[in-house]
Structure 1
Amino acid sequence: MKIAFVGKGGSGKTTLSSLFIRHLAAAGAPVIAVDADINQHLGAALGLAEDRAAALPAMGAQLPLIKDYLRGSNPRIASAETMIKTTPPGRGSRLLRVREDNPVYEACARPVELDGSAVRLMVTGPFTEADLGVSCYHSKVGAVELCLNHLVDGRGEFVVVDMTAGSDSFASGMFTRFDMTFLVAEPTRKGVSVYRQYKEYARDFGVALAVVGNKVQGQDDIDFLRAEVGDDLLVTVGQSDWVRAMEKGRPPRFEALEAPNREALAAMSAAADASYERRDWERYTRQMVHFHLKNAAGWGNAKTGADLADQVDPDFVLREDTREGTRESTREDTLAGATGSPQPA
């Protein structure tokens, strides 16, 4: 399952995503954690010392390796240099799986120990002084999007992405790559404003969205959130001595997390499981193609000097049982018209 955490800056989405990752790891689930925020704090939230978190390899710096590996023997991709962040997989492409070792993970992922369990952590890398006035942060997040496009995950496997703050996620098609998006909202007008933006932008794309109320202090806060977001409010999280200790760099064992907060994490996990059961692989592939064609026409063709619409394999559908280089999981009419006027959902 692919899970995203979004919300306004300061809402606590990194803290909540780290708690959710710990919850999954404690249950024995395989987890890949990805820090795709412009402010890179997920490593620290998972207990890494500052120097170790700063030394994590940036995915953006490994983009040539990522492209070359994922391209595989796909005959529709002339060279790795013609791949862009939205390039979809096709027959011959190499795919990523959660439970495997591969050159991408070797270059970009590092294990993080969590109370005897371990997760893989990948980071986009921070926005550096060299980037100022030269590039936008979405060029770094492109490595994450490309990997998600080529990742085949199954039931009981998790990829958890701490996304950039606000509605910046809509600068690419990455917001459609998730089985569940948890929007972390404080019980304030500003706290729910990002929810309204996200809800509106995602409306036509079938995005599964659930609100996690954070920093809730009483029934009045709960009532406020319920009035503002309605049935999208899944759970609320209040003050936590465990989180305060974690933020000081002295986290107790995860089993000591307060019972109400453990129950909230269990409810989030159940919601993610239910959303995965509704996954539509054909729509998932169709949306991938939709955004690739938009990016190709908007800037990709001019940048690469190639017609990137040719990268679309019209008979290919990414599924849980897809194998590289085969015709398994294909359907001729799935992407009918995809190279013309694709529909988002």
Structure 2
Amino acid sequence: MRVAFVGKGGSGKTTLSALFSRHLARSGAPVLAIDGDINQHLAEALGGAEESAPRLGAHMPEIKTFLRGDNPRIPSPEAMVKTTPPGRGSRLLRPLGDDELHTRHVGRAGGVPLMVTGEFDESDLGVACYHSKLGAVELYLGHLLDDPGEYVVVDMTAGADAFASGLFTRFDMTFLVAEPTRKGVSVYRQYRDHAEQFGIRIAVVGNKVTGEDDLLFLKEQVGDDLLTHLVHSPWIRAAEQGRAASGPDALASLEPHNRHALTVLREAVDAEVRDWNRLHRHAVEFHLRNASAWADARTGGDLAAQVDPDYVPGPTALP
């Protein structure tokens, strides 16, 4: 199941992404965390990188070559763009599989497998946007065949920037982290309005709640979309300052209410039923949008022809 954490900058979405990933890993569930934020802090939030790996955004040509496989509708890696959907002949992936992409690009942080997109650096200034790096994540999820009980947790870009690509449609569950402030819920309204157009369900996770007034404010602002909340946490503050214990059992010291909130998040994810047809339909829709808007001109081809009308999404597509 694919899970995204979004929210206003500073809301705590990276912290929640890390806590949820560690919560899943502690239970023994297979989990892969992906840092898709322009501020690459997920490894630190997970407990520090134990084993780094090459950044996805710096290896797009190789990733495209690998995922393209023998798909006859894609004549070359250069003709492949971030929205290119899989078709017959594409190389499909299993989570943390024994393949070239996972072997090369998965490291570990805090005991959790981790992939990173890479920072926005000086060479990108004025010539690229961060979402070009996120294209690797979009392609990865588009070619991933994951089952219930397998988790991919993505720390997304802050604010409404998460809508700058079709990546937001690739998830089974989107958790919007909101502080109990007017600015905190403003991103919720933006995300809700955009998500409704595509039938994307979001659930709000209140964060840094200090009392009943904070909780009441969130309930008044987001209504039934409020799934659960985390209270102000000395444990999290200690972790952010490097004072909290590390290791697989470190979360045992997290406040009971906050540990329960993580359980609620997992129950919400596990209750979702994967709709492969919806995922593939959105992928094709955004690919055709991009082809018309810029990709045809950039590649010099008709990228609508990359859509395989006879491709059946889901586990049956795996050879």
TM-score bracket for this pair, using the shorter chain length: over 0.9
Q: Aligned ranges for residues 186-197 of structure 1 at < 5 Å?
A: 186-197=179-190
**TM-score with structure 1 length normalisation?**
0.89
Identity of aligned residues (%): 61
Contact 2:32-2:96 within 8 A present in 1 as well: no
Structure 2 equivalent of residue 84 of structure 1: 81
The match for 1:102 is 99
Matched, 1:319 2:314: yes
TM-score, normalisation: structure 2:
0.96
Aligned pairs (5 A) from 1:202-217: 202-217=195-210
Which letter maps to 2:19? Answer: L
Q: CA deviation at 1:56?
A: 4.3
Contact kept in structure 2, 1:71 and 1:94, CA below 8 Å: yes
The 8 Å contact of residues 213 and 225 in structure 1, kept in 2 or not, is answered as: yes
Query: Are residue 41 (structure 1) and residue 41 (structure 2) matched?
Result: yes
Counterpart-to-counterpart distance in 1, 2:174 and 2:201: 6
Does 1:145 pair with 2:142?
A: no
Q: Where do residues 214-229 of structure 1 align in structure 2 (5 Å cutoff)?
A: 214-229=207-222
* Structure 1 segments (4+ residues) deviating >6 Å: none
The one-letter code matched in structure 2 to 1:122 is M
Task: Give the secondary structure class of the aligned counterpart of 1:214.
Answer: strand
Q: Distance in 1 between matches of 2:317 and 2:113?
A: 23
The equivalent of 2:289 in structure 1 is 294
Equivalent in 302, 305, 309 of residue 310 of structure 1: 305
1:5 alignment partner AA: F
The correspondence of residues 52-71 of structure 1 with structure 2, limited to 5 A, is 56-71=53-68
The whole-number CA distance in structure 2 between the counterparts of 1:251 and 1:101 is 34
Q: Does the 8 A contact of 2:208 with 2:233 survive in 1?
A: no
Question: Aligned runs of 1:215-254 on 2, under 5 Å?
Answer: 215-252=208-245, 253-254=250-251
Match of 2:129 among 118, 127, 136: 136
What letter is aligned with 1:182?
Answer: F
Show the counterpart of 1:269. 266
The match for 1:342 is none
Q: Is the 8 A contact 1:62 1:108 kept in 2?
A: no
| Whole-angstrom distance in 2 between the partners of 1:75 and 1:133 | 35
Q: Deviations over 1:12-52 (max 9, x none)?
A: 00001100001000110111100000000000001116xx7
Which residue in the other structure is 1:10 paired with? 10
Deviations 1:109-157 (A, max 9, x none): 112343xxxx320111011011111111111111110111111110100
**Counterparts of 2:135 and 2:167 in 1: how far apart (Å)?**
9
Q: State the distance in 1 between where 2:80 and 2:198 align.
A: 24
Aligned to 1:74: 71
SS in 2 for 1:25: helix
